[in-house]
Structure 1
Amino acid sequence: MDFHRFYFENLLAKNSKPIHTTILNPHVHVIGEDAACIAYIRLTQYIDGQGRPRTSQSEETRVWHRRDGKWQNVHFHCSGAPVAPLQ
């Protein structure tokens, strides 16, 4: 229901272009103690410049590496729709 609620709550909003993101099917692959690869599908809901509800989908992969005790995203790849919707 959250997926549909976004449109009902924001379709009539004026001067606002909210964006809602949903992460689907995350897969986490731990590589040793200091690395991980995370792959998922991102659904992005938004209201376009003409006030129409839109949804874009992309497949994303992020590679994380622990350096000095802190996790850092060292690589990002996106296939499909743009990461951010075009206005």
Structure 2
Amino acid sequence: MSTAATDEAAVRELHRGFIDANKVGDVAFLKAHMVPGDKLIWDNLNKSVYIGLDHICRLWEYLRYVSGGVPAQVEVWDEQVHVVGDLAWVHAMMRFQADFGPVGKVDMPSRETEIWQRIDGEWKMVHFHCSIHEPEGAEGGL
């Protein structure tokens, strides 16, 4: 397998691990695979921006608590993985469903982008963006 194919497979595996971690609020996954400190920028589906690893970990810990530990349902499709040198990005369509107790229930079709950077030989997520997708949207006015 070529280096490009090996890198793509590694990023795809991290992406799938990230989706699984998202279902249960697996903060250990975040700590192992996100860029440390305040370098992570996270545009979340809840329309908030999280700066730094600790910030998003606090959210996941809180949501895991209010959900009573009940896993979210996450369906992902149309995954695309691209690698150029030490930078990779993943784009996918997603449906996220969860019951966060007093915070409310969530059932959102969305689109997500992950940016991964190879740092000291390891792929780390440096940016995440997720926003609501409207399948019947205007398609840019076309």
Give TM-score scaled by structure 2 length.
0.38
Find the partner of 1:46 among 98, 101, 104: 98
- RMSD, aligned α-carbons: 2.6
Structure showing greater radius of gyration is 1
Letter in 1 for 2:81: V
Letter in 2 for 1:21: V
- The answer for the alignment partner of 1:66 in structure 2 is 118
Could you tell me which runs of 5 or more consecutive residues in structure 2 were left unpaired when the two chains were aligned.
1-67, 134-142
Write out the 4+ residue segments of structure 1 that deviate beyond 2 Å after TM superposition: 15-18, 45-49
Deviations 1:15-66, CA, capped at 9 Å, x for gaps: 774311111110111112x1111000111233575xxx86321111011000
Could you tell me which runs of 5 or more consecutive residues in structure 1 were left unpaired when the two chains were aligned.
1-14, 82-87
Aligned residues: 64
CA distance in 1, matches of 2:112, 2:128: 7
Find the partner of 1:22 among 35, 58, 75: 75
- The answer for the alignment partner of 2:131 in structure 1 is 79
Find the partner of 2:87 among 35, 40, 56: 35
User: Structure 1 or 2: larger helix share?
Assistant: 2
Identity percentage of aligned residues: 37
Look up the SS of the partner of 1:18 in the other structure. coil
- The answer for the alignment partner of 2:37 in structure 1 is none
